Amino acid sequence: MLFAGLFVAAATAAFAATPQANWDELCAKCHGPDGKGQTKMGRKLSIGDFTDAKQQEKFTDEQAFKAMKEGLTDKGGKTTMKAIEGLTDDDMKALIPLVRAFKK
């Protein structure tokens, strides 16, 4: 039984998604594949354009991680971004350089 558990854990680690695959699956539907936020949901929520250097200056890497881990709410307490579920802290941290790379 222990062997089977170790095998599953090793197989899962071997097939862990890349930051790009995680972005495509979990983030692009709102932020867009290019990080511009020009999706239906992105426009509805007024998501910032990650290709804009001024937008990137508005948050630190630590704030980006916290937003992914805990989600975001507006001043009225309405959820504007759900926490990302199913990713490890390391997976979330690996998304930050990808977000930063959108900056032009």
Residue with tokens 């899962």: 12
- Would 7 be classed as within a structural domain? no
Torsion of CA 66, 69, 72, 78, to 10 degrees: -150
Query: What does the pLDDT average to over 49-57?
Result: 96
Overall number of domains in the chain? 1
Query: Which residue's entry shows tokens 């990808």?
Result: 98
Q: What is the pLDDT, as a whole number, of residue 92?
A: 97
Percent of the chain with pLDDT over 90: 83
What CATH code is carried by the domain that includes residue 30? Answer: 1.10.760
DSSP 26: I
Q: Is 63 helix (H, G, I), strand (E, B) or coil?
A: helix
Residue 44 belongs to domain spanning: 18-101
pLDDT of 8 above 60: no
85 falls within a domain: yes
pLDDT at 15: 54
Model pLDDT, residue 16: 67
Which residue's entry shows tokens 């881990």?
Answer: 69
Average pLDDT of 42-58? 95
Identify the pLDDT of residue 104.
Answer: 85
- Percent of the residues in the chain that have a pLDDT greater than 70, as a whole number: 85
CB–CB of 28/92 below 8 Å? no
